[in-house]
Structure 1
Amino acid sequence: MAHDVQHYNLDQKFEFTAATKKAVFMVLGIGAALLILGIVMAVFGGGHHEAAEAEGHAFHWYERLYANLWINNVYFTGIAIIGVFFFAIQYAAQAGWSTAIIRVMLSLGNWLPIAGVLMIVTFFIANHDLFHWTHAYLFDKASPEYDKIIDGKGSFFYWPMAKGTFPVFYIFRMVLFFGFWVFFFKKFQSLTYNEDLIGGTSSWYKIRSWSAYFLIFFAVSSSIAAWDWVMSIDTHWFSTLFGWYVFSSWFVAGLSTITLITIFLKSQGLLEMVNENHVHDLGKFIFGFTIFWAYLWFSQFLLIYYANIPEETVYFIERLSSDIYGPYIFVNLAMNFALPFLLLMTRDSKRHGVFLKLVCALIIAGHWVDFFLMVQPGTLGHNGGVGFMEVGMFLVYGAAFTFVVLSGLAKGKLIPKNHPMLEESYHHHI
């Protein structure tokens, strides 16, 4: 290794200090208090009975709780897997610029085992309240509520068992995806820490080939997960763009999380090797994929709206014409496209931590709104909205996610000191 890099402390570790933990637990506490307040208000406030009765069933407070659990499960699972995905991209592309921050990317994957458990448990508790297709009567031709369209899609959930019984195929996919995602994450983790011990390039080549396998698996699994976990809520509706759309939403949120952690570590006096050029690159990724997300949002909307396909427009009409969700469509576009686009347009704004912290925080909250709009209208109808319960649950998940990721980050060394491209990262300049 050339002597340029030598004057850096390559064995530095992140110390998860009591002060940082206190800050995380404070957010968790505030979130928990708001969540409990939201639940109490829902239990005693009863909510929108007239709307519920108009829809033909009594609305229960816990349905809103389940919908929130599902939104946050899906959202934070996405951020976690994007960390692993972005790590794998660096190796597959033989990128050198990012060497100093690849362990920050990988650290997001620490949430995956917890996410898997939360996801599966939530599905077993809440499936009837979240997914219309779990009701057996929809598949019974003798039933007045028989649904031909859902019956046609039934095998996708229930194969090889009878439709309307136990969704074996659906659960199998969920377990398979989480199983492989955790497997790849652990594999990358052991190989990158192994590299610190043995040196040489063998670990780098191994991670590179494992990355290729992971990226193929990720391409298929992330799309199918989007259909399973989000699109199947609105069972009659489908969009051929949906896998891409969910991926783009996850990706921008994941990039923003990586950037925030990097800026935080820099503020702690760590990652001295990371300079404003690296930060600029992260800013460019966020800027670019913000536009990509907006392009997909608009493509999905325009094709359906312009073609005036009645069975497809219902998805947007439900949201646009709703007093509850209509305004959030514009909030969604403002938070996830208009503001980041304008704020990150200049070169300087992508190089300064203050700007990026603001934009990344905005995007992480904004893409939560995006998932809120995908999940709540189909599960809660007119009984949704953003209240104490939503904000509280988001803060609880956000704090728990931060705690798990930073705890994982503190366990190993921050910089892959034997990475063959560390020198390139040190000299990175744009």
Structure 2
Amino acid sequence: MAHDVQNFNLDQKFEFTAAIKKPIMTVLVIGAILLGIGIVMAMFGGGHEEAGEASGHAFHWYERLYANIWINNVYFAGIAIIGVFFFAIQYAAQAGWSAPIVRVMLSLGNWLPYAAVLMIASFFLMGHDLFHWWHAELFDPASAEYDKIIDGKGAFFYWPMEKGTFPIFYIVRMVLFFGFWVFFFNKLKSLSYAEDTLGGTQSWYKIRSMSAFFIIFFAVSSSIAAWDWVMSIDTHWFSTLFGWYVFSSWFVAGLSAITLITIFLKGLGYLEMVNENHVHDLGKFVFGFTIFWTYLWFSQFLLIYYANIPEESVYFLERLESDVYGPFIFVNILVNFVLPFLVLMTRDSKRHGVFLKLVCSLIIAGHWIDFFLMVQPGTLGHNGGIGFMEIGMFLLYGSAVTWVVLGGLAKGNLIPKNHPMLEESYHHHI
């Protein structure tokens, strides 16, 4: 049956044409304009001077800008690494169905080097304003600001330096994680493209073993990254399943991005081998992990609600009882669970691009709201919200990521033509 696969053009390359670039550029410009309007409004509208709840100081307009940059850095870095993770899963699990779309998954990783630079640079520039634990007076027992709880956690950020000086341990972790993520991405990418010229199964076995190492590293690093980059904003509070929670939010968003790119390429006449069965599988992943995210959200909420321990419940109280964030808790559940659950419940909806495009677009915006709810209350108190600045920044980042991902995808063949399981994928039927 080998001749079946040969009927397709396996040397097909995605052309990143001017017609595709134009709408991305348009969204980028709209995002920049909205962001500019948001910044001007924040500068002249001013913040609330009584905004001391979160940080004990007068509020400055640029803090909102910093919080937005941080939300988008964390969110899109997560989507990028999920692409590499999902690619690695396919090889580690010896999955055959996904053979024609593994490069779509891997293409998300093209954002990782940019994410690394943005993340590390913004931490140096804005970390002091974003992270309460970076304030030296918290670690000085003689200071009125001394905080015993944060002092107890200080070594996690500052080791081997003195607490309250320079968070070397924290920065080393960030650099190491991004360094290894970019290393694994580049290694997997070069092995995948080498397969096109080498043939045989040698590359496939190499990718498989490299994927196994990456998955182990990812399991540890993604969880610690979640504690460092998000949970440490609310330094007093902690949740033992927070690493899982952030992973699930990233994962659903990443799966949605992979699905959208696949449907987009199909619409342009690429990926002829990919049929409604493959699309159905992607739809099932999105559906299943939407429920997984909700399960973790509810587990975290229910345990904290039921135990009703003040230092735990404060996290939800400052969100649920807030005029600014309260409504978004319900938007979060509606967009990330109720709508995807109801729309993707039937078999047909998971096989039709129109439903998946709608749900996946909603999920990508919805999980941004999830990260907005994790970051803004702890950094901005009641000076947060979603306005021109937030929408502009999201569009700016989203279009930049899309540009980088599609640009990377255009650099090589779309389908790994010597993948040993292409035949299996061609006959994939569910």
Residue in 2 that maps onto 1:90 = 90
Pair 1:60 & 2:24 matched = no
Aligned to 1:359: 359
Equivalent in the alignment of 1:148: 148
Which amino acid letter does the alignment assign opposite residue 324 of structure 1?
V
**Displacement of 1:308:** 1.0
Distance 1:54 1:94 in 2: 48
Separation in 1 of the partners of 2:137 and 2:184?
40
The Cα offsets for residues 74-94 of structure 1, whole Å up to 9 and x where unpaired, read as: 000000000000000000000
Residue identity in the other structure for 1:408: G
Q: Deviation per CA, 1:272-300, whole angstroms, max 9, x where unpaired?
A: 00000000000000000000000000000
- Which residue type is aligned with residue 169 of structure 2? F
Equivalent in the alignment of 2:421: 421
| Alpha-carbon offset, residue 53 of structure 1 | 8.7
Structure 1 residues 257 and 55: CA distance shift in structure 2, 3 A = closer
Write the letter of the residue equivalent to 1:150. I
Structure 1 Cα separation of the partners of residues 54 and 252 of structure 2 = 38
Aligned to 1:229: 229
State the SS of the aligned residue for 1:345: coil
Show the 5 A alignment for 1:76-87.
76-87=76-87
- Structure 2 CA distance for aligned equivalents of residues 47 and 140 of structure 1: 30
Partner of 1:369: 369
CA deviation vs aligned residue, 1:233-265 (integer Å, no higher than 9, x gap): 000000000000000000000000000000000
Q: 1:57 Cα deviation (Å)?
A: 1.9
Is residue 2:38 matched to residue 1:38? Answer: yes
Q: Contact 1:52 / 1:382 at 8 angstroms: preserved in 2?
A: no
Deviations 1:88-140 (A, max 9, x none): 00000000000000000000000000000000000001011100000001001
Counterpart amino acid of residue 324 in structure 2 = I
2:240 alignment partner, SS class = coil
- Answering whether residue 300 of structure 2 is matched by residue 300 of structure 1, we say yes
- Kindly state the Cα deviation for residue 49 of structure 1 after the two structures are TM-superposed: 3.1
* Structure 2 residue matching 1:49: 3-state secondary structure: coil
1:411 is paired with a residue whose SS is coil
Counterpart CA distance in 1 for 2:372 and 2:358 is 21
One-letter amino acid of the structure 1 residue matched with residue 8 of structure 2: Y
Report how far residue 52 of structure 1 moved.
4.9
Measure the CA separation in 2 of the matches of 1:375 and 1:260: 26
Counterpart mapping for 1:7-406 below 5 A: 7-52=7-52, 56-406=56-406
Q: What is the rounded CA distance, in whole Å, between the counterparts of 2:6 and 2:349 in structure 1?
A: 31
Post-superposition shift, 1:310? 1.2
Provide the rounded CA distance (Å) in 2 between the counterparts of 1:14 and 1:161: 50
Deviations 1:158-216 (A, max 9, x none): 00111111100000000000000000000000000100011000000000000000000
Aligned residue type for 1:329:
I
Q: Deviations over 1:25-76 (max 9, x none)?
A: 0000000000000000000111333445997421111000000000000000
Is contact 2:280-2:351 (8 Å) kept?
yes
- Residues 305-334 of structure 1: CA deviation (Å, up to 9, x unaligned): 101111100000010110000000000000
Which whole-Å CA distance do the structure 1 matches of 2:210 and 2:297 have between them? 32
Under a length normalisation based on structure 2, what TM-score does the superposition of the two structures give?
0.99
* Count of residues in correspondence between the two structures: 430
1: distance between equivalents of 2:65 and 2:331?
Answer: 22
Partner Cα distance (2:275, 2:92) in 1: 23
Alpha carbons of 1:148 and 1:106: their partners in 2 closer, same or farther (altered >3 Å)? same
Q: In the alignment, residue 11 of structure 2 is paired with which amino acid?
A: D
Tell me the TM-score normalized by structure 1: 0.99
One-letter code aligned to 2:271 = L
Retained in 1: the 8 A contact 2:318–2:377? yes
Q: 5+ unaligned residues in a row in structure 1: which ranges?
A: none
- Aligned-partner residue type, residue 284 of structure 2: K
| Aligned CA distance change for structure 1 residues 277 and 146 (closer, same or farther; 3 Å) | same
* 1:12 Cα deviation after fit: 0.1
User: What CA distance in whole angstroms lies between the structure 2 residues aligned with 1:162 and 1:333?
Assistant: 42
Measured after TM superposition, the shift of residue 393 of structure 1 is: 0.1
2:71 maps to a residue whose letter is I
How many Å separate the matches in 2 of 1:25 and 1:152? 48
Q: Residue type of the partner of 2:44? A: F
Could you tell me which amino acid in structure 1 is paired with residue 386 of structure 2? V
Rounded to whole Å, the distance in 2 between the matches of 1:54 and 1:7 is: 62
Measure the CA separation in 2 of the matches of 1:422 and 1:325. Answer: 48
What CA RMSD, in Å, does the superposition of the two structures yield over aligned residues? 1.0
Runs (4+) of structure 1 moved beyond 6 Å?
A: none
Q: Aligned to 2:410, what secondary structure does the other structure show?
A: helix
Alpha-carbon distance in 1 for matches of 2:267, 2:54: 54
CA contact (8 A) 1:192 1:416 kept: yes
